[in-house]
Amino acid sequence: MKLTFWEAAEAVKATNDWKQWADFTLTGLEFDSRLITSGNLFVPLKGANDGHSFITSAVEKGASASFWSSEVEPPAALPVLKVSDTLKAMQDLAVYYLKKMTPTVIAITGSNGKTTTKDMTEAVLAQQFNTYKTQGNYNNDIGLPYTILHMPDETEKLILEMGMDHAHEIDFLSTLARPEVAAITMIGEAHIENLGSRAGIAAAKMEITAGLSAQGLLLIPAEEPLLVPLIKELPQTIQTFGWQQADCQAEIESEQKEQTSFKINGSDRLFTIPVPGKYNVGNALIAISIGRWFEIPEEKIQAGLASFKLTKNRTEWLKTPQGTEILSDVYNANPTAMNLVLESFAQMPTSGKRVAVLGDMLELGPDSAKMHASVSEHLNPNEISEVVLYGTEMKALFNVLKDKYPKEQLHYFTKEEKELLIEQLQSLVNPEDMIVMKASNGMGLNAIVEQLMKS
């Protein structure tokens, strides 16, 4: 990190006499004292635990300075920068650092596919530029400035994922990051409990334009009418992606278990991504459009997509010790996203049976039962022969499927019956079978996947 102690002090408008300490170079920044290394700036955040109480640990790990907003006095010998709010100080420092390092910022949001699109975009841009992207799910008011302050010095293109569960959160992130390019992957039903409707979700996602350069690019799905009235007065270049009447339009050539090939309008080139699903092709269209915006040759875009690495738990193929294949997509879920995954899974070739393990989709509000039940339209016993449902909200889908599936092919478990679910799966599946697992992260299906991988 190219920052000095005095630089940081001026950037955050520290209120104490920080010039009592000689200036020195900061090697990095951490808010988790366990991750501190020599020369780091410690950011004690106030949450369930007050980070100030870990200052001794931070110093022992090698912290050379700290933000400070506690009434308790800091260690006398430790250089500190007193601020009213340590989180805001980290955010202000991130704004300063962006202006100093001047990377081009690409912002990505959406109800589903943010992380996959981020991974694809980074792989495409890395063909020609020094890139850095949001690590894991560091996509909120803490994770985004943290990501900015961790980008390598040579970063030219910074790809930032922006998440939200309430209105005005992406507005803040976009204003902080000031992107040149922004993309909305899709409008689903995630967090509809907080935002009231899909229209409310669309408006919240459009907050990504709050800090978007007037000369920049906004990418939106062509098949989303809710966004149409929200883009009319925008000064930015607006491009669409999708399957019909889109600026970047795809036609799938072949879809296999571990890869999908497609062509786009205006090109004879065959693009291949190492993941299944029409929905992932939509994500790839965003990466292609961004690559084109930065004038990356098409063959390099093709190479980047073919070799991109997916963040863990996003459409990940695994194989159990017995040979059963698992399509694990357990990080988040909403009805639109779950239906897209099931549509793709139902067509995947297998010599055994297809089994769907579906957990609750959280934060869907008063219409949750109706939304869960609607997934039945994408479950056919002739295609997905066994269905295992998990969680309170999935009872609504179970009740609908009772008239569609034979009793022995439909299984339901409460969240307290996780071990019974695992036992059922272990006795149900054979080595030649294929399983898809999809749920909101809060349902903990990743732990069930891990157990199946061990057993």
Strand partners, 65: 41
Using CA atoms, how far apart are residues 207 and 202, in angstroms rounded to an integer? Answer: 9
CA distances from 199 to 156, 172, 188, 229, 262 (A): 35, 20, 10, 11, 31
* 116 marked among binding-site residues: yes
Q: Is 37 annotated as a binding residue?
A: no
CA-CA distance, 67 to 84, in Å (whole number)? 10
- Asked whether residue 137 is marked as a ligand-binding residue, the answer is no
The one-letter amino acid code at 122 reads: E
Quick one: tokens of 131?
A: 């890139």
51 marked as binding residue = no
What is the spatial distance between Cα 317 and Cα 36, in angstroms, rounded to a whole number?
34
Range 341-374 burial, b when 16+ CB lie within 10 A, else e = bbebbbebeeebbbbbbbbbbbbbeeebbebbbb
Task: Please report which helix (H) or strand (E) contains residue 342, including its range.
Answer: helix 335-345
Terminal-residue alpha carbon distance, the chain: 44
Cα–Cα distance measured from residue 168 to residue 234, given in angstroms and rounded to the nearest whole number: 18
Residue 309 annotated in ligand binding:
no
**How far is it, in rounded angstroms, from Cα 234 to Cα 64?**
46
Q: Are 121 and 108 in contact (CB under 8 A)?
A: yes
Output the known binding site: 110-116
Output the known binding site for ATP: 110-116
